[in-house]
Amino acid sequence: MLANKTALVTGSVDGIGFAIAAQLASQGCAVMLNGFAAEDHISAQMASLRDSGATVAYHGADLSIPDQINDMVTETRRQFGKIDIVVNNAVTRTYANIEDLPVESWNYALAVNLSAPYHIVRQVMAEMKERRWGRVINIASNYALRGTARRSDYCSTKHGLLGLTRVIALEGLDFGITANAICPGATLTPHARKLVAQRMAASGKTEEEATRDYLAQRQPSKRFVDPKDVGTLAAFLCSDGARDITGGPVAIDGGWLAYS
């Protein structure tokens, strides 16, 4: 159980981030949500957590802007008193060949996917060391370990995030701090649903057919990873039972890496 712990989870108003936040909250953790969405959607997500007895707040920081990140960290401390767990989940990507990828898109991906985790951990590491307990979970991807065409910003930043994870882990070894990079395969997020819908529209296939087509060259299980399962894994990595799991990629991918 994570009673009396506080977590800051970025990109957590939907998808994997919300699933992680919900699982942490179910174990007694107070949670600061973050992300972009319509106000009524954010309110509904917060209400769903509060209805289950969770303590939850929201900060709409744009993670490409360091001052807003700083304000989010400060506000989390103000509301909850401390930050024990950081989950860096927010992500952006642009599908394009390198020569066609706008410089602005590259810089934005670096800011959100890689610099934002640095800015957050930089501010909480000292307090974690002082309390001699902390958990940093960076949501990477199988593309932190592999490359793929037309995703130079995504692959580069996810590789970098894995490197940052390893450094945090080594610096936290003597202080009860662990850091891990969860590497999901194809996960049933709103983004994945959009990709399947595009395949359905282009091919006339059913949702089941389009899903199998999408996963055929990716995930041997032929099914999407459930975000709730990623949440369960994240919660385990925050437990004392995972105190010696630190510094590496943790795959949850239906056999993707084994297959490739």
Based on the fold, state whether residues 75 and 202 are members of the same structural domain: no
Q: Which of 58, 143, 154, 214 is catalytic?
A: 154
The full 3-state SS of the chain, as one line of letters, equals CCCCCEEEECCCCCHHHHHHHHHHHHCCCEEEEECCCCHHHHHHHHHHHHHCCCCEEEECCCCCCHHHHHHHHHHHHHHHCCCCEEEECCCCCCCECHHHCCHHHHHHHHHHHHHHHHHHHHHHHHHHHHHCCEEEEEECCHHHCCCCCCEHHHHHHHHHHHHHHHHHHHHHHHHCEEEEEEEECCECCHHHHHHHHHHHHHHCCCHHHHHHHHHCCCCCCCCCECHHHHHHHHHHHHCHHHCCCCCCEEEECCCHHHHC
Based on the fold, state whether residues 198 and 115 are members of the same structural domain: no
Based on the fold, state whether residues 39 and 150 are members of the same structural domain: yes
Based on the fold, state whether residues 114 and 192 are members of the same structural domain: no
Based on the fold, state whether residues 41 and 25 are members of the same structural domain: yes
What is the domain count for the chain? 2
| In-domain check, residue 33 | yes
Give pLDDT tens digits for 148-170. Answer: 999 999 999 999 999 999 999 99
154 is catalytic: yes
**Domain span including residue 95:** 6-186+225-254
Give pLDDT tens digits for 63-81. Answer: 999 999 999 999 999 999 9
Based on the fold, state whether residues 80 and 196 are members of the same structural domain: no
pLDDT at 217: 81
Low-confidence stretches of the chain (pLDDT beneath 50):
none
- Read off the pTM: 0.96
